[in-house]
Structure 1
Amino acid sequence: MRATSARANGRRQEPVGEEARRSAERPAAVLSGPWLLLGHDGRLIVYAHVDQAMLRWTESRSGDPRWVGPDVLPAKGLSHLTVAQGRNRYAHLLGRRVRTAKDGALTVDVVYAIQYQAGRPLSEWRSIGNPHARRERTALMGAPAAAVNTDGTLYVFVPTAEGRISLRREDTQGRWEPWHDLQVSAAVDTPAAVSTSTGHVELLAPARAAALTWHQPEPGAALRRGPDIGTIPLPGSAAGVETSPGRVTYYMTDVRGGMVAVRAGEWPIPLGGDPGDGRHAAVNTVLDGYACTVLAHRGAEGRVMLGVCVAEDERGGVWWTDTGTDCLGDPVLALDGQGRVVVLAVAADGSLTLARQEDGPGLTLSTWNRI
């Protein structure tokens, strides 16, 4: 079940494709992301938010090292962006848009677009507003988070002024409910939202003295406050994954030091890993016949760190590997169309680079290849 990398096996990182052409296509700076999703046809899709645009790459075919792209999708005025995916594999893009009026005042709203199929055009961007009614307060809204439940309902969460969090939902018919205040005044950053296979949506938000949680008593119900968790998450570090049916595990960096795993009704579990200041990534897979969770983050020294543990048995140990690959921002994880673990990161030169699980016991990664 141990994780190893190409570096650990003595291999060198090799670029793939026409290097000169690829260099010209690389973004100068990734503002949000990247995101790695599995499309409806088994091809992976990569999104990266750059200035005034979203770049998209699509696998030529499932598992192929060749990629099509980047396609340049307009995303004007977006300061932040996030991507969520539902069971139907639609990709929902949510952005925080900032515009300057003629009088110099800023107007901020949430905009939304959707991609229905891999490689197909993106829908037009539509505004879903801002929970602040007065224009002078719209700039107090933070970056959105999103989740899609099993029936296709989209949940959009934004932090607002005075530590509040607001929710807006779109049903399967495309009708948007009004903004709803989650009745909290201590949140300090964008929350982490998770949809489960049982149809529930859960939420965790960092606060000054704890982690705040919400859950649904039944699918589609209003979110209810859960118990606070006695870990103070580093803002921006938390990520959640369903580690067993209907049960979510959150991974985050505690501001007092170290990475922890938390689940409802349990004490936080220290995990080690020497994380930096970014967000963690997690994905479920089966290794050597065991249900496992694979973790990734940018370590304190700026390299991609990979961890493996038996699902919900973090106390039994997390096996960490330094992949030796320098990265900018946060690495992400996904399973490809063959069920292999894929790690994607922004390399030190700004290019996108990934490694895939190879055949054999445990989790061994291939050579890192540029898209």
Structure 2
Amino acid sequence: MEPVSQNNLAAAPARTKRRLLGGLFVLCLLPALQTALHMKIFRLPAVGFEPPRRRPGFSWQALRAGTYQDSLEQYATQKLGFRYWLIRPRNQVRYTLFGESSTPEIVSGKRQQLFERGPLQGYLNRQRQVPETEIRERVRLLRALQDSLAQRGKLLVFAIAPAKPSFYAELLPDSCQPLGQPARNYRLHAQSLQAAGINLIDFSALFKAWKATSPYPLFSPGGTHWSGYGVTRAADTLFRYMEQRGHFQLPAVRHTGMEISRQPRSTDDDLARILNLLVAPAVPLAYPTLAFDPPHDGQMQPRLLLVGDSFGYSLFESYPYLQRLFAPDSHFWYYNQEVHYPRSSPAPRVSSLNLREQLAAHDVVLLLFTEHNLVDFDHDFSRQALTALQAGR
């Protein structure tokens, strides 16, 4: 056996160091190569939503203000190779070990519940507190509109969708404590609407009443809207109320079964998707299967004008209530700004429509807004509608 010389022993650590240095250099170089050469074999798309950033334009003013450097850094960070290989594990570690959210718009609560910051701010009274005089004036206009439409044989209903922070207040993080009695804007609006005799369905109160006895979750851990099961209970209550108040009969909806799944559907993981996790919070969720009977001979399907926030989507996307129970020329006006049903591109602006003609063309007006969105009430729909009706006298 050839003896090992002292020179060979000394050279071994040096070779190891060079190999380590070379490997480190390659690791540092690979992200740049992947970005430059667009090696798709190394790409792993993120699950969550991340708006693409544009390369910022250079200007001396932006450079002196420091905004150009920040924008360029954010742009370069998003283009970094292998970024999506690491972002999801990083988010998972923050969420699982420390209970932290990777975005400021989502708050991580107890038992893996996720909360959207907007509804949470409303529950904690950290949004604008609407003066009581303003609330009374809003409700006065709405009552005047309800009476005016009733004189024309039309029904108006105001529905308050539940907010997850109010429903799961006990699962909010300990750091989230309301300023005084929680959800002030919601409470005062609900009280004033009820006192004024508005056709009101308060789903916030109903969901809390159903909570203890509900066999399935009414909100999912990773969502901010009512669950697939929750929307069917809400819709059943809503449309029965409409039939009673409007003195008409909608086509029958039959529950034909129940599917239980740990895979969220529709909006049941809309917050979890944004967090961009490897393993999102999941519990068994219920999804009723429905059968919509066709209208019988002589049965009229009323034309519905739905004006509301994102909870309105569940009435035609989660389940086809709008398509099957109401006339084909029914509509959904998103925040009283854009026509989102029926869909078209681009979405028509509500301001471009003749409001008096639209009111005449619909039989039922449903205003559906979540608790925290009552800070803006009905987004000026009552005043605009009253003005349009009075102009036609």
Q: Which has the higher helix share?
A: 2
TM-score normalised to structure 1 length: 0.27
Greater relative contact order structure (CA < 8 Å, 6+ sep): 2
Q: Which has the higher strand share?
A: 1
